[in-house]
Amino acid sequence: MAKVQNPILFSTYFGLKPGVVEAAGLVDPFLNVDTQLFIDPTLLEKSSNRIIKEKALPQFRRHFSDFLRLLTISEREGDAAWKGAQRLLDLSEPADNGLGYGGSGRSGSSRPNEIRDTIVRTAKEIVTLGSKDPEMMGLMGFFEEKVGPDTISDFTTRVIANELSEITEAFCLANGISTSDKDGDSQYSLPSFDVGGGKKKYVILVPSDIVRELPISNDPSEIYEAISFNQKIRDRVNSFLARSERTTATERKEAIRKAALESVDLFNSFLKAIKDYAQPYNQEDDSLGYRKLKEVLQSNVDSFKVDKKFELSSGPEKIAELVHETIAAFKHHVEKGNLWEALWVNGVPKKERASQLIYFAIADCFCKANDVDISPEANMGGGPIDFKFSKGYEARVLVEMKRSSGTVRHGYEKQLEYYKDAAKTFFGIFVVIDYGDLGNKLLTIQKIRSERLDAGEAASDIVVIDATQKKSASKRD
């Protein structure tokens, strides 16, 4: 699992005021943990960044046109043209852009040759149909299950790294950030940060209008919605599904794949539908809560001070008290302040990750404000987020957070217990974010807790936070 402690923003590290990076149309990345946004090559054409439109997009198209040209002339796997195409599909770790599924340290490694060859074979199949559009590469996550969003993002980053470096150098020059040449041969110099042990990492910045939460090719529900606007491909897909009154997401995905790869005409219609539909991550809606996360981390931590001393050396019970205080701070800002607004978008609750990330930021600020020698640690990988507070090897407290519409019973009864067992701790706190649809789920987990206590077993605490929509704080009685 990817873990992170003490997240460091690019803007904070280099002494920039909050919002400066975003105002330049760039993602303000963390230096020691990846943000789960990904470069989607289908967005390059729509970017408002001049360097992306005039240089990066043509470079991407040239590179993968060469890749497809080699596949066109390849007569069999392993011949010279095939090997040339393999060399052009470089899946090794690109320059550090702060995106993806990485964790602490953000180190990565080359992806297996198996994934590279899977992409090459699929591209060959499409080329054989007659399509030569290099932007088909952005769809590989849809055609092949093993091709994740980070793979697409990374091979795109490598191909347009020079253009991203130009954007980065220009931003740094305009904002007084020192840069240096990574290897003595680079055309552009980049900012770097110290990772310890005498080593440093170089960073490239990415325009915010070429990133998505997931590339559309990795989100089947968006694929289905995108093709619904294109009658030609929609009619063919429906013909494959005609025999079924009810269809699963898997069946719909397979029908789309069959339709898209049936002919060059249908494939080109499919690709056009995706390119027309694709939109970048909406910074205003901020469905993942990254903007609020950054706001909290950049805020004055003095607001999180409390008149209490935490004697953490006394054991996990005292750490649990501290953790309850961090949760109480989060609860206060949601229920009594306006933080609940950051958990909703257009009248709909945001994704579970939004509340988790914002709590993580508040917990981190709380510990710093009160000079507590402990930091929250979060699993920031592709799966659910859990939080660990620890002092030494033995004293550990876990926090699991669920939204009220989710699997509350499973989360309390099974999931948190699994995490506790893995962390070798008896101390867990289960937090439910109630958006108004909790129903009888609270009674269910309270009963489970009571039964465990009556049996003399350890039982995790339960905290409910009211995140329902409210009047603004200034209008409340």
pLDDT tens track for 197-234: 878 889 999 999 999 987 777 777 788 888 888 888 88
pLDDT at 156: 94
Tell me which residue has tokens 């996550």.
141
Q: Low-confidence residues of the chain, pLDDT below 50? A: 1-2, 103-109, 382
The bridge status of strand 211-212 relative to strand 38-39 is: antiparallel
> pTM for the full model?
0.84
| Radius of gyration of the chain from its Cα atoms, rounded to whole angstroms | 25
Q: What is the pLDDT of residue 108?
A: 43
Instruction: State residue 250's pLDDT score.
Output: 77
Tokens of 157: 């980053």
Rounded Cα gap, residues 363 and 367, in angstroms:
6
Give 450's contacts (C-beta < 8 A, 6+ positions apart). 459
**What does the domain layout of the chain look like in residue ranges?**
3-213, 219-281, 290-475
Asked if residues 216 and 274 have their Cβ atoms less than 8 Å apart, the reply is yes
Per-residue pLDDT, 433? 96
Task: State CA 426 to chain mean position distance.
Answer: 30
pLDDT computed for residue 107 by the predictor: 44
Q: How many residues does the chain have?
A: 477
Q: Cα–Cα distances in Å, from 312 out to 43, 266, 316, 347?
A: 49, 64, 7, 41
Q: For position 383, what pLDDT does the model report?
A: 52
Residue 114: closest CA among 148, 78, 75, 146? 146
Encoded tokens for 129? 């149909």
Round to whole Å and give the CA distance between 37 and 407. Answer: 25
